[in-house]
Chains A and B, each alone.
Chain A
Amino acid sequence: MIVAGVDIGSQTSKAVVLKEDHVFRSALFPTGTDLYAVARKVVENAAQELGHTFDDIQRIVATGYGRVSVPFAADTMSEITCNAVGAYHFYPDARLVVDIGGQDSKAIKINDEGKVVNFAMNDKCAAGTGRFLEVAAETLGVSVAELAALSRRSGNRIRISSTCTVFAQTEIVSLIARRTPQEDIAAGLHESIVSRVYGLINSIGPGDTGRVVMTGGVARNDAIVSLLASTMKREITVPEDPQIVTAFGAALVAKSRLGSE
């Protein structure tokens, strides 16, 4: 049995190819503008990693915002469902998944069978997403990783009042002009994202039992993870590769549907 899940996100595309039970390989590329080409490329790449070709794959499920541009997928499924399936697979005691990706953030409550019981997603703007951090880092002239490092050294977190990405940029410029230490601005920016995401989490009635799992590209930012954990007063688990959890979930869905037609 060889199946694949492909997650075409707004900034990165991920694929997971799953062989038999647990042998899998993943690939990740920037999404770009040709969604079909990138979808094909990530799947092929992950298949090759496993010593197979694209044609060996028996079933593919596509997810993410570009899911409808993957004609070779047998099914599509929303990234929220796939994310929950993936997170539950790695951590059967997960009851809350927080996913912060390039342009959206999500909070997903799952039950003891891994089913989605409630979820919320950020609204139209990029506040509370990875994009917010990227724009802020660019404005400060540092990388996102450096921004996180700076934030950890802050002794006096500044409050960034603009949640809007564009306004936050202006605010950063005026903070720099006022000679506010970069560390404190960085800490304020992290705080701003965390407070948006915290609101999102609370809107679904997250409960206080079970494991909290964080996925998506921003889960690699340990400054965000630890700030969110202390705000929530909960421990947060980050999978080894937090960016491929949704694609993994899609592959599991493909596996469950194999031979169902």
Chain B
Amino acid sequence: MGTEVKIGNRLESQNRLGKLIVDHYREAREIKESKRKPIVWTTTAAPNEILWAMDFCVLFPEAYAATCGARHAAYRHCKITEDKGYEHHLCTYCRNGLGSTLADIEGLDPFDPLPAPDLLLVANNSCSLITKWWEHLSHYWDVPMIHIDTPYIIPGIQEKDVIGHIKGQIGDLIRFLEEFTGKKFDLDRLREVVRNGSESAKGYTDMIKINKHKPSPSTYFDLMPHNFPNLVLRYKPEVADHYRLMKQEMNERIREGIVPFENMKHRVYWDGIPYWFAMRFLSKKLQSLGICLVTSAYSQLFAFDRSDPERPLDSVAENTAYFYLNRDVRYKAEYTEQLYRDYDMEAGIFAYAMTCKPFSITMHYIADYVQKKLGVLSTIIEGDLVDDTFFDEEKTGIRLETFAEALESNKPSVGKVVF
């Protein structure tokens, strides 16, 4: 990197994002009060366009868990669940969700709780535990739950059969919702929702790709929270504007030679769900080591890039079927390898989450695969999504320092290292 670099402040888009999030939750609370819409709690890659098209207020307990983690409130919810006898190693997104629910029902002061649901929708394309989590929610809230079964996309499976299977269930979902709400499903409204979603998805994926530029105008941790609009609000036309403005801001940084921090030395890949409670520690540590996280396959979880208003039902089914976590490990490894190539990254940090086995279990394979294919260094750190009892700053620090030292000593430009 030349010497003429300028260090950027916080992206203006972070403020806009903050407002989008606050407005979303404020609106949900107002809806709960006024009862003008039914509230549904759903999973990341369920066929949620159907819910928006039928005018539900749609809330995401997984996103809520991430917020609780980042705001250091999740431990309270996790503890409530543990006090009820749920075990410590249970997925902590689930423990957070059940804990806040129990706290809400029992008047125990949960952190900014999601307004109570009238209905639950779950797709098992992230893991099978999530269905059990939702079953407990259904039991505690005493509301119906609909489950969308999403067979795993693995080599040899007839993908069109999987899509057909999901599409059939979407038909059932629509019939159920018509009965539940007393309203007729409107295909044109779905088309409009999917159109907004496809614009938003395009904006989101284009925005993520700007970090291919060398040097990257932002760190991946700066970009990551911006999955929220494409996940939660993509049915709204204005979300595409958020990404348009964000791209403008990032491109401007590139033009002006602005980088996110001083002394950026290494372009590094991040794998896994972030440790939400440790973002500040990790950001500071990585910056001090000159490591710029550039991108992650995690962003692909929120891409919803199959959305196509010309094929609304099929494309909604495809987004559900082709959800990144519903793919086989070989696909993920090849996808990750391509990211290393496209973003010209020299190494990877794999963030093993102790309580999310479905995501974490593939990490050894993927880290090993890219290491062998590209000769890059990988390190696996250990922690958790929202429960800091699984995380050790000191140990993580040593791992990251060693990783940075190894990157330094293996840098060809440094030549033969002295030791």
Interface residues of A (CB under 8 A from B): 65, 77-81, 85, 104, 113-121, 123-124, 203, 205, 249, 252-253, 256-257
Contacts and interface: CB of A to CB of B under 8 A. Distances in A.
B379 A119 contact: yes
B417 interface: yes
B402 A113 contact: no
Contacts of A205: 368
Contact of B405 (A65, A116, A257): A116
A124 B382 CA distance: 9
Interface of A is mostly: mixed
Contact of B419 (A65, A203, A253): A253
A115 B406 contact: yes
Interface string B357-400: 00000001000100100000111101000000011101100110
A79 B409 contact: no
A252 B409 CA distance: 15
Contacts of A256: 418-419
A116 B402 contact: yes
Interface of B: 354, 364, 368, 371, 377-380, 382, 390-392, 394-395, 398-399, 401-402, 405-406, 409-410, 416-419
A119 B402 contact: yes
B382 A117 contact: no
Given A117-B377, A124-B390, A205-B368, A78 B417 contact: no
B382 A78 contact: no
Given A124-B392, A205-B368, A115 B417 contact: yes
A225 B419 CA distance: 28
Given A113-B417, A116-B406, 4 more contacts: A78-B398, A81-B401, A114-B419, A116-B402
Nearest to A115: B409
Contacts of A119: 379, 399, 402, 406
A119 B402 CA distance: 9
B417 A120 contact: no
Contacts of B368: 205
Given A124-B392, A203-B364, A81 B402 contact: yes
A205 B229 CA distance: 41
Contact of B395 (A118, A124, A253): A124
A149 B371 CA distance: 42
Contacts of B402: 78, 80-81, 116, 119
Contacts of A79: 398
A80 B401 CA distance: 9
A110 to B, nearest CB: 10
A124 B399 CA distance: 13
13 contacts: A78-B402, A79-B398, A81-B402, A116-B402, A116-B405, A119-B379, A119-B406, A121-B395, A121-B398, A124-B382, A124-B390, A252-B419, A257-B418
Contacts of B398: 65, 78-80, 121
Contacts of B406: 81, 115-117, 119
A63 to B, nearest CB: 10
